[in-house]
Amino acid sequence: MGEVDPAFIQAVEHRPKLAIIEAEGIPLIDLSVLSSHESSYPSSTEPLVAEIGEACKNWGFFQVINHGVPLEKREKLELASREFFAQSTEEKSKVKRDEVNVQGYYDTERTKNVRDWKEVFDLTVKDPTVIPASHEPDDKELRKLVNRWPEYPSELREAFEEYAKAMEKLSYKLLELISLSLGLPEDRLGGFFDDHTSFIRLNHYPPCPIPHLALGVGRHKDGGALTILAQDDVGGLEVKRKIDREWIHVKPTPNAYIINVGDIIQVWSNERYESVEHRVMVNSTKERFSMPFFFNPDHNVMVEPLKELTTAQNPAKYKAYNWGKFMANRKRSNFKKLDVENIQIYHFRIKLDESS
């Protein structure tokens, strides 16, 4: 990444602490009970549903093991990712994304208007994926995002497509469990994802000479429904613990996935579950790789608190918003530094005097 650009340097209050606090008590949830129950959730899964609910409520994230994703599919894509990022910038830039099609390679992403110390390669699960052409509310035009496939490594496409199918399957399982944990039918949320806008991001964090000043990804919450993260053994993910707002390090667990509750689940649940703020530390000596799967609904879904979870005593806390427009608004910061913080769900939060 060349000389250190001041754009990477975090404000003093957001700089990482090099003294790491290891997270303790992070829910590690075993999904093996699901392997013999593909079609429905009998009473034997009730403890699992309760575990999921507690994790979503108290932490906003958890880890899963025995999740059914074959290790060889994950390793195949991880290897292809490493081979892709090992190429020259010139080669990687042949599949560089742009404002028209935001799929592809990129190395100047910003979070909270500060540049991240990373390079990424984004690929949608559905190819093509239909989204709004712009963030403007009155613009009804749609456009298609098409994946850009590099010449090398040639096996990346097959590895991606196999892994994406496994991620979809796990996502729907988790969605059903979360729905049940909210007291809803298992299929209550699935209909929002018929033509979903999900994508996988391949992340590469090179060694950083200023780990006390920069972040791989700055503090943020995920705007979608769920994030399923595969990280290597280097680690770097930090999560803001709800009980004391302290940044804590999530130690990698071999072959586990880290699950984030996203903003959409927070809105659907009317804040019974909360999206968790997180960030990524950089390492001065080691490179790091990760692969988050962002499970996002159809572009035309209006996101609002579910009617079953609102009452006169607990009215809806958010106005409805369109997911596609929200996502299009978020993508704007990929290409230019905004004068204000990018759109967040709190912009749609209903003030007490509005609901009375």
Parallel, antiparallel or unpaired: strands 61-65 and 28-30: parallel
Identify whether 158 is part of a domain: yes
Parallel, antiparallel or unpaired: strands 129-132 and 119-124: unpaired
Beta strands in 206-308 (DSSP E): 217-220, 226-231, 237-240, 247-249, 257-261, 278-280, 288-295, 302-303
Identify whether 180 is part of a domain: yes
Number of domains in the chain: 1
Q: What is the pLDDT of residues 103-143, one digit of tens each?
A: 999 998 888 889 999 999 999 999 999 999 888 888 999 99
Helix (H) or strand (E) holding 81: helix 71-85
The pLDDT of residue 101 is 82
Q: Please, which contacts does 27-30 make with residues 24 or more away whose CB atoms are closer than 8 Å?
A: 27/51, 27/54, 27/55, 27/59, 27/62, 27/63, 28/62, 28/63, 28/64, 28/65, 28/253, 28/256, 29/55, 29/62, 29/63, 29/64, 29/65, 30/64, 30/65, 30/66
Identify whether 1 is part of a domain: no
Strand, helix or coil for residue 14: helix
The pLDDT of residue 336 is 53
Phi, psi of 120 (to 5 degrees): -135, 160
The region, left, alpha or beta by phi > 0 then psi within -120 to 50, assigned to residue 230 is beta
The pLDDT of residue 241 is 87
Segments in 143-276 forming alpha helices (H): 156-181, 263-268
Question: What is the domain extent for residue 11?
Answer: 6-348
Identify whether 356 is part of a domain: no
Please give the Cα distance from 226 to 207 (Å, whole number). Answer: 28
Question: CA torsion, points 142, 267, 55, 262, in degrees to nearest 10?
Answer: 30
Please give the Cα distance from 191 to 185 (Å, whole number). Answer: 12
Identify whether 262 is part of a domain: yes
Residues of the chain with pLDDT under 50: 1-2, 39, 335, 338, 340, 355-356
pTM summary value = 0.93
The pLDDT of residue 322 is 95
* Six-digit token string for 277: 């703020």
Identify whether 249 is part of a domain: yes
Identify whether 355 is part of a domain: no
The pLDDT of residue 243 is 85
* Six-digit token string for 27: 């829910």
The pLDDT of residue 351 is 83
Residue 58: CATH number of its domain: 2.60.120.330
Q: What is the pLDDT of residues 165-183, one digit of tens each?
A: 999 999 999 999 999 999 9
Identify whether 259 is part of a domain: yes
Parallel, antiparallel or unpaired: strands 129-132 and 142-145: antiparallel
The pLDDT of residue 1 is 45
Distances 88 to 77, 83, 150, 287 between C-alpha atoms, Å: 19, 11, 13, 16
Phi, psi of 283 (to 5 degrees): -125, 135
Beta strands in 268-354 (DSSP E): 278-280, 288-295, 302-303, 321-322
State the amino acid at position 45 in one-letter form. Answer: T
